[in-house]
Structure 1
């Protein structure tokens, strides 16, 4: 497709968007929505309020959040007195705090169901999750979109040619992928368009992070190249490391953070092309495999090739803690948006670990119970094959010692993403796993 296709994906600001056609959900009206929402608890209401603007407006207008919060406080004997009133902002804040507390407790204790199904014809090793949707790929010639709740396949995005998919991300309207030495964009809504930049745009790109309209690509030569999707050009080239860039992260203040295979972490300001700070882990020999930035607390987390997890406060560039949480490589770490308490980590040993963001202490460790026979259920026609259902085992300290000494046959966790009371993992094979934490 010609490069002019990008005009359809990125119309000029003055061009008005076409109004979306009315859906069946939109036709229900506030009264019917109120009757439906009245049956939900506060966590389910929070999820519903994130679906669309009309649902959020209905929930806020009918003050269901306030009612549910008062009921919850009364049950906990914490006392919102009859007739007490709170501002909508205060209610939403406290509802968010209650949701984050439930998230922490669910990851720390209680039963865990693990659902596994074949998602690709060949092995893949990356996954991304937003708004309850999971996008998987890298290794196969197609990216697939799934529902994290129902485990059903929703859509797929085929690669245009034999160029390898290196990294990807997505939002409400598009999927952005780094393919070989160029960038591709798939439209998710309306007419299915594919835009491809010219080949040779990047030099040995290894990783990508995307915040509309910019995509940052970490390269083998230690530089980060910023691709502007509106101009379809490289707008900046920033020298970050003497070695290759292995992972990237963004902040809301236009800081780009990169980790190196040589062990350093660098931050640069996109507005000035100036390096802001250089961070290092306790071991200079450890390569950095993954980064995770929490905008709610301004903390940066890093995982290394030697199994170390580290944390810095970016406001002071001071390292807060460094803990060896795994005997081997940490491939991925992630947390729920606005969660300032827990961080989920996965690596080569296949153990799913939950650690405390403030201290680096390991809260819980989970593996799949492979000794119990799984149950199976089939999904609707033309979706995905049967889903295998197993239970996860929460490991004790004695179990952890045994894991350090015994070679593991578990598949490595090559990538993970965290949702509300769930974690999705990729393992470098054909299967996707969704870990659902029910709590006590």
Structure 2
């Protein structure tokens, strides 16, 4: 028989959960103590997380100290750390980081972390500053931590118009939504701006480098949207056919690929067409990316990867890396050695930037888990997000790809430090982590 508390009994007080401590709550003194325990590579990665961490590391000269220790351990000689300039240290650090990046992508062990990111299939992903933005499929973009796999934020579309493409930086998320541009603020007041409908003919792709969003359209023109005036500031004719892919640099250089197979270059500052790159055959250009060393890389619908030197406008190499469509290619910004390519066959390929040679091919081994599914805290899911850790395997040179079971196509990929994130037009995101 049930009993009830007497009328005079004191009500039971619910225990309040203590608020979670965030990394922003740590003072510089605590961060300084933590950073002194890290080795050189981890210090480099921490200095790239945010400006406040970079400032703490720089003021303590931790990079110089750790670099000095490593050089002393390798050579046995003693040098004065005070003689090492910050510029010299930064140059050495960058080279060390790029060497580690190349080795890990080329031959290191691979773990793949996989979890459900959307309720329906999504086909786009971007990765910057250790953050991943995913979307296109449902009416929301989601921001994730590449390291912890946690959901950090989401950005919902204002209406039924389709999300076509997007990009982001520290302060904004910019989306190509139907025939307009939408801007979500990431910091401060979380407001949303949407331009008027019909701002341009049907857009197919977009790239964003503040203060411009460059939109490739079905009519072969590129529209330049200015973030401050919030208007189309320039319209540049690039191709007789639809603009299928774009790349846009800090130097205001626009490189666009066409569904008809041509590649055009325009200078945004002068509003002038600069050149047209010579391509082989009539297969459409599906993906483009640029390097700081003035190289442009392209992937075609026939499986060809190509490289041109923008200074001479000459093709350096062309390789048929796949028998079918290449959907996406990307590389770390300062990496001059490796290029990551994905396409319809679902194989993640590592290509040498200098000659186009495929130096490694990776797939996800679906039938074996390294560990059980583990829950991860998620603001949008109180039960926790289930993350599977699986093994990535490297294929041998003589492995018959045509005899392998069908793999989900790699629709889009993005490259970070010893990481690659892939979208496959299904509900799961995959983060490939490469170890040295």
Q: 1:358 to 1:160 in 2, by over 3 A?
A: same
Q: 1:80 to 1:369 in 2, by over 3 A?
A: farther
1:407 deviates by: 5.9
Are the equivalent residues in 1 in contact too, given 2:122–2:134 (CA < 8 A)?
Answer: yes
Task: Quote the Cα distance in structure 1 between the aligned partners of 2:51 and 2:387.
Answer: 33
Task: Quote the Cα distance in structure 1 between the aligned partners of 2:85 and 2:337.
Answer: 26
Aligned mate of 1:124, from 122, 125, 130 = 122
Matching residue of 2:254: 256
Task: Quote the Cα distance in structure 2 between the aligned partners of 1:203 and 1:28.
Answer: 49
Are the equivalent residues in 1 in contact too, given 2:303–2:320 (CA < 8 A)?
Answer: yes
For structure 1, the 5+ residue unaligned runs are 1-22
Q: 1:287 to 1:24 in 2, by over 3 A?
A: closer
C-alpha deviations, 1:84-118, integer Å up to 9, x for none?
A: 72111101110110011001111111211001111
Aligned mate of 1:345, from 324, 341, 345 = 341
Aligned mate of 1:241, from 218, 224, 239 = 239
1:26 deviates by: 6.1
Matching residue of 1:377: 374
Are the equivalent residues in 2 in contact too, given 1:213–1:229 (CA < 8 A)?
Answer: yes
Matching residue of 1:308: 304
- Tell me the TM-score normalized by structure 1: 0.90
C-alpha deviations, 1:47-66, integer Å up to 9, x for none?
A: 22123333222212211101
Aligned partner of residue 369 in structure 1, secondary structure: strand
C-alpha deviations, 1:150-207, integer Å up to 9, x for none?
A: 1111111111111000000011111100011001011111221111100000101000
Are the equivalent residues in 2 in contact too, given 1:104–1:342 (CA < 8 A)?
Answer: yes
Q: 1:163 to 1:27 in 2, by over 3 A?
A: closer
Matches within 5 A, 1:188-199: 188-199=186-197
The answer on 1:336 being equivalent to 2:332 is yes
The answer on 1:140 being equivalent to 2:171 is no
Task: Quote the Cα distance in structure 1 between the aligned partners of 2:29 and 2:152.
Answer: 30
* Structure 1 outlier segments of 4+, above 6 Å: none
Are the equivalent residues in 2 in contact too, given 1:349–1:408 (CA < 8 A)?
Answer: no
After TM superposition, the structure 1 stretch with the greater mean CA deviation from structure 2, 37-46 or 123-132, is 37-46
- Tell me the TM-score normalized by structure 2: 0.91
Are the equivalent residues in 2 in contact too, given 1:180–1:204 (CA < 8 A)?
Answer: yes
Which one has a bigger Cα radius of gyration? Answer: 2
Matching residue of 1:113: 111
Q: What is the CA RMSD across the aligned residues, in angstroms? A: 1.7
For structure 2, the 5+ residue unaligned runs are 1-20
Task: Quote the Cα distance in structure 2 between the aligned partners of 1:203 and 1:242.
Answer: 14
Task: Quote the Cα distance in structure 1 between the aligned partners of 2:116 and 2:27.
Answer: 39
Aligned partner of residue 90 in structure 1, secondary structure: helix
Task: Quote the Cα distance in structure 2 between the aligned partners of 1:248 and 1:173.
Answer: 22
Matching residue of 1:157: 155
The answer on 1:406 being equivalent to 2:382 is no
1:338 deviates by: 0.7
Matching residue of 1:16: none
